[in-house]
Amino acid sequence: MSIPNIRSVVEDMVNPYLEEHQFELVDVEYVKEGSSWFLRVYVDKDGGIDIEDCGRVSEYLSQKLDENDPITDAYFLEVSSPGAERPLKKAKDFMKSIGKHVYVTTYEPIDGNKEFEGTLVSFDEATVVVRVGKKEHELPYDKVASARLAIIF
């Protein structure tokens, strides 16, 4: 099974539990590091997620994965919070982050840059507007390579 299919199958397995408990699925990764495969599931909820929440999601998902066995390789399952520098993957992530400090990279230079760190001013599903200093940069959403919340030090 391909990596995108594994992500999709895992999302379908875990989403009913997450919805029932009012958790949010932030991301699913299936990656090889060294000789080991890792299935990482990032979850969150209003007010933040704790270790007990992650443990319950892990137990539920582990049972579902054992029952259905969609992954042929040996792997490690990790369920965790997305952390303070949470990735912005979906349109709703961008909408919820308006007014927050973000770090955005693009596939190609825009206004001479591929990296933008500043305040997320607006998002309309076609354009991400980030204010860096006094200048606002309009980034086409389809040109965004990655985006995450950023901590100001």
Count Cβ atoms below 10 Å from residue 39 Cβ, excluding itself: 21
Q: How confident is the model at residue 50 (pLDDT cuts 50, 70, 90)?
A: very high
Nearest 10 degrees: CA dihedral of 132, 136, 139, 145?
Answer: 10
In sequence order, what are the beta bridge partners of 40?
29, 78
Residue 140: is its pLDDT beyond 90? yes
Give me the chain's average pLDDT, please: 93
The reported pLDDT for the residue numbered 152 is 85
The reported pLDDT for the residue numbered 22 is 95
pLDDT single digits (tens) 10-46: 999 999 999 999 999 999 999 999 999 999 999 999 8
Identity of the amino acid at 56: R
Residue 3: is its pLDDT beyond 80? no
Q: Which residue has the higher pLDDT, 128 or 73?
A: 128
User: How far from each other are the two terminal CA atoms of the chain, in whole angstroms?
Assistant: 42
SS3 104: strand
Residue where the block lists tokens 């760190």: 117
The reported pLDDT for the residue numbered 74 is 93
Tokens of 105: 């990279």
SS3 28: strand
pLDDT single digits (tens) 66-81: 998 888 889 999 999 9
Query: Which residue ranges form the domains of the chain, and what is each CATH number?
Result: 3-80 (3.30.300.70), 91-149 (2.30.30.180)
Nearest 10 degrees: CA dihedral of 24, 84, 49, 71?
Answer: 60
Residue where the block lists tokens 């500043």: 118
Give start and end residues of each alpha helix (H) in 69-114.
91-96
In the 8-state DSSP scheme, what is residue 65? H
